[in-house]
């Protein structure tokens, strides 16, 4: 009987590039699909906060795509989160973000692909856009190899190669660098993965077209890359010393404090000191409805896992199709996505909008991030939304993008005031006003400002956060479900 290695020892490699647009997603997704087609259980991962690429990874592998973000979660959680995702797998493929050495602005290597590769003790495959160059490719690769000796670039995949002659020139140049060429992908029509204002169109919106796109990526990689050599490189990754992250363990209640040692002559301590039971809550889990479907595709896998570990029954619903919240809903989570694309359909679903308002007015906890914030506003681009918040949202020409260091300004269903969290903003919309009487967050970077809304049980903000960094968020949310 063949068994998969433990997550800490699973073979792994990181697919990186000198810059965005070089072909990382095509190679990473295609490799995942090609390995899956060979019967391997592939663990898919993405460096950074991006929600869209993991959707394609999940389609390629049949497993949840998971993010590894050293800024939002901290470097110490990258390994444990990886091991958790890689449990039971034969191999892991990690797609990088931007250029190999590009990280959080002003923070050095923090959260870069190179940083994560080092934390994972994983070799790197560099995908190079070789169009419009020949011998210069050697200088480019040499620079990336020598920049940080702790980053092990184990091979190169040359992308957008024009002809046999072009390939021969590139291979001759690469001989002088000493880095093996593990694949050559010819210049070809772009694989059918359309983009729009925030990047690739998510899998959930494309259906069978996305399946065809992933199959095309797999064929490109299988035909142009030495897949056996890539697997061999993955097997050279070092064993990780960390244990896997586990939602149940991180939410386990801390042990009670030790009993005080009595002084001579003092009365003995109360045996129940420090062992007071928590107030009883109703038996059984409380139902937490999580928005899904084509309009709300942005969610980290660990959020639902933490909610379940905190005692919730997590039920996914589709705001484009379902006319009311799931029966018995005690809490609501509305993550990111593209409500601006589906504004007409969301507005037309009056039954669900009324159901959301009723839940919010009851004081039940409602967590809304970015797209969820827009949905709770009075209107979006002039179309009626839920009206839970007295605010108006509209599309904007300005892209708001980047990591944020934030602190909770107001007590809410997610956090007590003063809780510090790191997050990410990524949108082309604006909300007026930008903050309520009780703001959700005080942004510390890149500039100081308050943002978001806390009203009754509602916490609504543009800020995307990763709850694995602060698991108590999930516990507090579910406890609020039980008391609201």
DSSP character string of 363-398: T--EEEETHHHHHHSSEETTEE---SSS-EEEEEEE
Q: For residue 346, what are its two tokens?
A: 């969301």
Q: Compute the distance between CA of residue 285 and CA of residue 480 in angstroms, rounded to an integer.
A: 12
CA distance 244 to 84: 5
- Distance (Å, rounded) from C-alpha 217 to C-alpha 208? 14
- Marked catalytic residue, from 73, 370, 386, 481: 370
Beta pairing, strands 383-384 & 379-380: antiparallel
Contact 185, 159 (CB under 8 A): yes
The owner of tokens 């009883």 is 280
Q: Identify the DSSP state of 225.
A: B
Q: How far apart are CA 106 and CA 97, in angstroms?
A: 17
Whether 370 sits among the annotated catalytic residues: the reply is yes
For residue 12, the surrounding DSSP H or E stretch is strand 12-16
DSSP letter string, 420-453: EEEEEEEEEEEEESSB-SS-SEEE-SSS-EEEBE
Q: To the nearest 5 percent, what fractions of the chain are helix, strand and coil?
A: 30, 25, 45
Q: Which two tokens stand for residue 414?
A: 């997610």
CA distance 28 to 15: 6
Q: Looking at the chain, how many residues does it have?
A: 484
Task: Indicate the SS3 state at residue 411.
Answer: coil
Residues sharing a CB contact under 8 Å with residue 272, sequence separation 6 or more, in sequence order:
none
Angle at 400 between CA 57 and CA 71, to 5 degrees: 55
CA dihedral 468→469→475→477, nearest 10 degrees, is: -100
Which are the catalytic amino acids?
370
């Amino acid at each position: 009987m063949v068994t998969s290695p433990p997550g800490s020892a699973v073979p792994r490699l990181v697919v990186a590039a000198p810059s965005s647009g070089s072909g990382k997603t095509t190679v990473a997704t295609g490799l995942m699909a090609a390995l899956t087609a060979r019967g391997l259980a592939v663990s898919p991962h993405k460096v950074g906060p991006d929600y869209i690429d993991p959707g394609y990874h999940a389609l390629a592998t049949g497993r949840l795509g998971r993010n590894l973000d050293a800024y939002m979660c901290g470097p110490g959680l990258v390994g444990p989160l990886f091991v958790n995702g890689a449990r039971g797998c034969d191999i892991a493929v990690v797609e990088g973000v931007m250029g190999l050495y590009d990280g959080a602005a002003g923070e050095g290597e923090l959260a870069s692909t190179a940083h994560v590769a080092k934390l994972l003790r994983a070799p790197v495959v560099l995908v190079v856009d070789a169009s419009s160059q020949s011998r210069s490719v050697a200088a480019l690769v040499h620079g990336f190899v020598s920049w940080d000796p702790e980053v092990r670039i184990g091979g190169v995949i040359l992308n957008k190669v024009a002809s046999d002659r072009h390939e021969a020139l590139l291979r001759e140049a690469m001989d002088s660098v000493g880095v093996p060429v593990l694949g050559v992908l010819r210049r070809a029509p772009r694989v059918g993965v359309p983009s729009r204002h925030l990047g690739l169109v998510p899998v959930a919106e494309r259906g069978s077209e996305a399946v065809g796109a992933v199959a095309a990526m797999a064929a490109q990689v299988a035909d142009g890359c030495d897949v056996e050599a890539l697997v061999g490189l993955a097997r050279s990754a070092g064993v990780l010393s960390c244990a896997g992250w586990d939602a149940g363990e991180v939410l386990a209640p801390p042990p009670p404090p030790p009993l005080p040692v009595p002084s001579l002559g003092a009365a003995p301590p109360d045996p129940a000191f420090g062992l007071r039971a928590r107030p009883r809550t109703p038996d059984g889990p409380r139902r937490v409805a999580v928005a899904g479907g084509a309009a709300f595709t942005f969610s980290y896998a660990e959020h639902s896992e933490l909610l379940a570990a905190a005692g919730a029954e997590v039920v996914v619903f589709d705001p484009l199709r379902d006319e009311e919240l799931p029966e018995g809903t005690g809490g609501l989570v509305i993550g990111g996505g593209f409500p601006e694309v589906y504004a007409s359909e969301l507005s037309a679903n009056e039954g669900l909008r009324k159901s959301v308002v009723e839940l919010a007015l009851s004081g039940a906890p409602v967590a809304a991030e970015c797209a969820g914030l827009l949905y709770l506003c009075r209107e979006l681009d002039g179309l009626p939304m839920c009206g839970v918040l007295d605010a108006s949202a509209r599309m904007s020409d300005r892209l708001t993008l980047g990591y944020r260091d934030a602190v909770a300004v107001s007590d809410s269903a997610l956090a007590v005031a003063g809780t510090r969290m790191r997050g990410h903003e990524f949108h082309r919309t604006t909300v007026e006003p930008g903050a309520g009487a009780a703001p959700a967050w005080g942004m510390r970077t890149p500039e100081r400002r308050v943002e978001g809304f806390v009203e009754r049980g509602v916490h609504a903000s543009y800020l995307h956060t990763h709850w694995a960094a602060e698991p108590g968020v999930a516990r507090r949310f579910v406890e609020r479900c039980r008391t609201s």
